């Protein structure tokens, strides 16, 4: 999650983070947000109560994208985007709720995950933020979807934020866990206080060749560790973990992961075709789409304080704190609360 961070007490290392973007721009506190919603009291995730049917594939841009789909083909579309190191099963309990409400639910594997593959061996295995957002616009185009509610967490939240910022005409609403996650290499050049840097240990590990080799050799163990530390009260079962684990066997997963984190620190170049997008994103554009942001009360991963990003949403806006020991993988840990936000964003 790109951004300079002010830390506060949390369960993971006793630290949480605040975005540099909002700090530098003097973002208003939540007292000035357009709508502070009462905190829903969700049940925790059901740990694999449902499963997807047969996955689909579609050629979109530089990728053949693997995705799950649920709900009526003629329903309004919601695009659900997963994070790192997770996969589409973060939404296995969210999808049927939205489908039963009449939504066409699309849940793609991001580049480097699951059954998504590059169409050419010559395409750069690029994990920069703009590339992932362009992928998802291409995915919607390939399915002839003109507009959608976009929703996500972690990498998925950043991708959804970018889609809403750069292609507002495509986004009828936004649901973003941990709020505004758009960043830039320039922002990330600025060092953080030592305690805040500590929570980014894996980013610095990935900056080394030892880290790349270590992640390649121990991917599943690494992923399990991140799941545990990012969601310290989520008692996921081996069955739940093993259902998602094959997504990380994707032949490009390690390369995309390493490039993503090295690009953030300016240690790896992006592609020139994304330069214009990155210049726009470096200005930290305001998002105009109706938005609901969410935060779990037990998020052990680095994340901004909600007061830091309220001013980045100029349209109808609510923030919801989700209680009950909810960690970083909010849609899987609190599917009812996440689905409710998607359903409610259209009513703002």
Output the pLDDT for position 346: 86
Kindly indicate the confidence band of residue 240, based on its pLDDT and cuts at 50, 70 and 90. Answer: very high
Report whether pLDDT(1) > 70: no
The residue among 59, 127, 112, 121 whose CA lies nearest residue 271 is 127
Average pLDDT score over residue span 266-279 = 98
Q: What are phi and psi of 115, to 5 degrees?
A: -90, 5
Tell me how crowded residue 106 is: count the other CB atoms within 10 A of its CB. Answer: 25
**Residue located via tokens 């830039």:** 184
Average pLDDT score over residue span 207-234 = 98
Question: What would the pLDDT profile of 65-85 be if each residue is shown by its tens digit?
Answer: 999 999 999 999 999 999 999
Output the pLDDT for position 51: 86
CA distances from 315 to 20, 50, 176, 257 (A): 22, 35, 14, 33
The residue among 237, 246, 86 whose CA lies nearest residue 156 is 86
For the CA atoms of 245, 84, 221, 48, the dihedral, rounded to the nearest 10 degrees, stands at -40
Question: What would the pLDDT profile of 2-21 be if each residue is shown by its tens digit?
Answer: 333 333 333 333 333 333 33
Rounded to whole angstroms, how far apart are CA atoms 106 and 98?
11
Output the pLDDT for position 249: 98
| pTM of the entire predicted model | 0.87
**Residue located via tokens 């005409």:** 169
């Amino acid at each position: 999650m790109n951004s300079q961070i002010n830390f506060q007490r949390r369960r993971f290392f006793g630290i949480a983070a605040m975005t540099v973007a909002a700090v530098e721009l003097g973002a208003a506190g939540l007292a000035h947000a357009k709508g502070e919603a009462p905190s829903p009291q969700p049940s925790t995730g059901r740990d694999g109560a449902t499963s997807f049917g047969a996955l689909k594939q579609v050629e979109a841009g530089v990728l053949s994208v693997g995705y799950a789909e649920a709900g009526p083909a003629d329903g309004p579309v919601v695009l659900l985007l997963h994070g790192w190191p997770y996969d589409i099963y973060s939404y296995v309990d969210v999808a049927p709720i939205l489908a039963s409400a009449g939504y066409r639910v699309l849940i793609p594997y991001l580049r480097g995950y699951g059954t998504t593959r590059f169409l050419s061996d010559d395409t750069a295995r690029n994990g920069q933020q703009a590339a992932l957002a362009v992928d998802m616009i291409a995915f919607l185009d390939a399915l002839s979807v003109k507009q959608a509610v976009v929703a996500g967490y972690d990498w998925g939240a950043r991708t959804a934020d970018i889609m809403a910022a750069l292609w507002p005409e495509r986004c009828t609403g936004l649901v973003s866990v941990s709020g505004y996650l758009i960043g830039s290499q320039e922002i990330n050049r600025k060092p953080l206080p030592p305690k805040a840097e500590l929570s980014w240990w894996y980013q610095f590990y990935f900056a080394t060749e030892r880290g790349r080799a270590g992640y390649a050799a121990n991917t599943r163990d690494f992923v399990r560790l991140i799941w545990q530390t990012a969601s310290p009260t989520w008692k996921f079962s081996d069955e739940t973990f093993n259902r998602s684990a094959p997504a990380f066997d994707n032949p490009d997963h390690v390369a995309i992961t390493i490039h993503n984190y090295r690009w953030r620190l300016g240690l790896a170049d992006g592609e020139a075709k994304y330069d214009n997008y990155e210049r726009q994103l470096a200005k930290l554009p305001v998002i105009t789409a109706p938005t609901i942001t969410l935060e779990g009360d037990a998020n052990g991963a680095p994340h901004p304080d909600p007061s830091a990003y309220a001013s980045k949403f100029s349209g109808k806006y609510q923030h919801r704190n989700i209680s009950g020991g909810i960690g970083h993988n909010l849609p899987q840990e609190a599917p009812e609360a996440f689905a409710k936000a998607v359903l409610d964003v259209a009513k703002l």
